[in-house]
Structure 1
Amino acid sequence: MTTAIAVGSRTGQSLVTDAEFDMLAAFCADEYGLERCVADRVVDQALAMVFVMGSSGAGAAMAPSQQVDPGWHTLILHTGWYADWCERSFGYFLHHQPNSKVRTRGLMVDVVDRIRSAGFEVDERLWGTAADCNPPACCGDGPCC
Structure 2
Amino acid sequence: MTTAQKHLGTDPRTLIKADLRAVLVSNMRDKFPDLTEEKADRGVGQMLAFVAASAHSDKPLSPSPLVDDFWHAFLLHTRAYQDFCEEMFGAFVHHQPGFLDREEHGGGKELRARTVDAVTLAGYELDHEFWPELDLASCTQCHANCHDSPKHA
* Shared fold (TM-score, shorter chain, > 0.5): yes
Identity of aligned residues (%): 32
Q: Is the 8 A contact 2:109 2:134 kept in 1?
A: no
Give the letter for the 1:47 counterpart. L
Deviations 1:18-77 (A, max 9, x none): 1111111111121233222221121110001101111x144x611110121111111111
Report the Cα distance in structure 1 between the residues aligned to 2:129 and 2:30, rounded to whole angstroms: 21
Alignment of 1:16-55 (within 5 A): 16-33=16-33, 34-54=35-55
- List, as ranges, runs of 4+ consecutive aligned residues in structure 1 with deviation greater than 4 Å: 100-103
Alignment of 1:77-96 (within 5 A): 77-96=76-95
* TM-score, length basis structure 1: 0.75
Give the corresponding residue for 2:73.
74
Report the Cα distance in structure 2 between the residues aligned to 1:40 and 1:68, rounded to whole angstroms: 12
Q: CA RMSD in A?
A: 2.3
1:114 alignment partner, one of 108, 115, 118: 118
Count, aligned residues: 125
Structure 2 residue runs of 5 or longer lacking an equivalent are 1-6, 137-153
Higher RCO (CA 8 Å, separation ≥ 6 residues): 2
Give the letter for the 1:32 counterpart. F
